Structure 1
């Protein structure tokens, strides 16, 4: 796909170790001199691994399909242009659940140095940005018929020391306005769900999908998970939602340009009912804290661009 500011190859900063990137067998892997790394499938532009300080921060099912056969169960699937089953009376009504971004093959646009926070002590670069693109011309014929708008997505994945930034840019390249929703459906790996708390959602209104999509307001500043949870929080005032484990900081998830989040864990029965969820007790080691724009619809007029995503910090 065409992109006005396609990233150029990294120019070494001079002395010191440099980030490394290699692409093979439908995936792109980047590493920093610190050992931090990220791995992205071209199928769905799905981030399937992010390691910081030698620790894996993303959960991927042992039964996940990584061959382009179906959307990946785990990692960071991209939801676009609809969240959940689309309403039949909407322009997205003929699409499958969560839209087509997560099961389309994206193009790797290249690598670049990002606006770095500085150099490593050794003189090497401390961050690297990878860009992926998906446009209307790359869709299957079925998806083109189901959602016939001219669009371009650019998904930027930036690996930093102890951090990962993922940003989705949506551009309307056609002459007709269109509406969409987007969500980064992130599965975080944790040690024990019974020892996890999620902070930063207090006093926020949410739709509880477990309780017949009824609306509630979270009274407690801290959320603990003791059963199936599927909540859509909207209009969150605090930018950052933090995950603690045993009372200690584990991950900080900061929304950028968006104000909604979903918290999901299938728990025992739901996990048993999903064929691609393994091990069946894997719900103990994962929690989804997903950032997006899913409360209503985002409207883009011809030529307009939307951008939103997240910055995640890992605590050792």
Structure 2
């Protein structure tokens, strides 16, 4: 995928999966406050905010959270978020090349857009089956307010897993799987395919060389396109995952309630933080991914030569 020409020796699957998981964790640490702000904006309007707290814009949301709940609130759910990336990114990004090559029958050809989309959808959907419980816990922690006098649903990550399992069963840990599969299949294929296409176009027209500025532009462009396409499903996923048992009958019912009570604009709540987060996340992740992958390949070669 990114950074490797057809003539290059492809890195082993384990290297790609480990590099993707590590790079995604780095990107999550850097951009997590934006993700938390996005979740707060997405659930706003679902119920009356505590003490009439209102969030206005991404930076207004961050400022309000810091003022009312303290700076640590911006990293609510980080542990679950890192657990999610280790399970999720290593599969959806690390397996992308292999699945794409599988669909081309292993032929050394430049795959078409449809093949890339199919590969992205496949690895995105596969990753959800592994990471869904971590996503549920992450979203609920991000939605949880850390205010004095306000009861908190969960006190810690492991306690949250236990509480959800004891009170909602396995179904609770995999709550919102369908919208999450839909969302992540869309995100993965749009993100990876758009990145590849933008980068290839830049290199083909010799606008930039294959370096950091090229990666930055490609990743940021992929982040914008991905946000536009995936935002409605992402909002429904967040609302449904965060909801207590019985509030919505299904993800489709959640969508209908949002449409009838808040209108179509509800599906794009938190768009700006979603875009800022995905754009910056993509930049950090793809750059880190390439550097970590290359470092691991160099280390592997050195170990082979000395052994």
Q: Tell me the TM-score normalised to structure 2 length.
A: 0.29
- Greater helix fraction, Structure 1 or Structure 2: 2
Which one has a bigger Cα radius of gyration? Answer: 2
- Greater strand fraction, Structure 1 or Structure 2: 1
Structure with larger RCO (C-alpha < 8 A, sep 6+): 2
